Amino acid sequence: MATADMAVPAGEAVPVFDRNFDGFMNFLNSEASPSISPKRFGLVFRVDMQTLAAQAHVHRNTVRLAPDTETIQSHLRESVRVMRAAADISGSIEKAIYWFKNHPLPTFDYKTPQDLVSEKRTEALIKYIQSLQAGYTG
């Protein structure tokens, strides 16, 4: 089983993060810059760069040629922000990724969290997650 602090060459398995959010963030960091690496984000979320570009509302070449662009980085940061909230509830990065990509939310017309981040509805989604967390603890 891979660990979160191992480098992953293209085509190999993504590390298992479990509860290690710091390891997840370290993996997403581009070694060449202080930004989130779109390529590593794509590996973890199993999304190709063309789809990532569409979700971030940029041209498909922008992800490859200008990965530090604020539009892309903002989308990645908002996705990671939702992931943190989801991981805090689920107890696992992998469960949170599955939820983020696949779980249709009735409150949001059965859109997935990934769709909502793409629509720039992160604040409403975070409040929703916080209400779920309050329901579990309150």
Burial label, 32 (beta-carbon count in 10 A; 0-12, 13-18, 19+): exposed
Contacts of 30 (CB under 8 A, 6+ apart): 36, 37, 39, 40, 67
Q: What is the largest CA-CA distance in the chain?
A: 47
The confidence score (pLDDT) of residue 133 equals: 80
Mean pLDDT over each residue of the chain, to the nearest integer: 88
Give the pLDDT of residue 2: 42
pLDDT at 44 over 60: yes
Tell me the pLDDT tens digit for each residue of 105-119. 999 999 999 999 999
CA 117 – CA 134 distance, rounded (Å)? 22
Residue 41 in tokens: 């984000």
Amino acid identity, position 55:
Q
